[in-house]
Amino acid sequence: MPVFNTSLPVAIGCDHAGFEYKTQIVPWLNQQGWQVHDFGTYAANSVDYPDYAHPAAAAVEKNECAFGILICGSGNGVCMTANKHQGIRAGLCWATDVAKLIRMHNDANIICIPARFVALALAQEMIELFMNTPFEGGRHQNRVNKISC
């Protein structure tokens, strides 16, 4: 069962390296009943990832979207960009255990996928775990409270 507000859309954004995955992930999310706000890119042409990561992160930060999915070649560029927003806790995921832990321990609200390093099926599995793993709170809440500057 999703732990995020299902009445809000999912924010998704990518650069050219993540475009192919995004075209597969959006309909997959729709099939699960999620509305998706697609912040682009809308083609495989070379683009600058911050142009898509910033608007997606802002929508999550303003509670216009339940959570975010950002995809680029390494996942690092979109992750660093999203984490510039005070209300964002974006986590880079390359394994299912990491996807669970960024939710359980860090209360992440954006998952960042490295399209050049994980298979699409693994990306979807990580997103599924991310969407359905609750934040544990407790001792982790104190740490999360110290993240913002």
Active site annotation includes 105: yes
Q: What are phi and psi of 77, to 5 degrees?
A: -60, -50
Is pTM beyond 0.85? Reply is: yes
Q: What is the DSSP letter of 7?
A: T
Helical spans, DSSP H, in 32-116: 50-61, 76-82, 96-104
pLDDT at position 149: 83
Q: What is the DSSP letter of 136?
A: -
Low-confidence ranges of the chain (pLDDT < 70): 1
Q: What is the CA radius of gyration of the chain?
A: 14
Of 72, 79, 93, 112, which residue is the catalytic one? 72
Residue ranges and CATH numbers for the domains of the chain are 10-145 (3.40.1400.10)
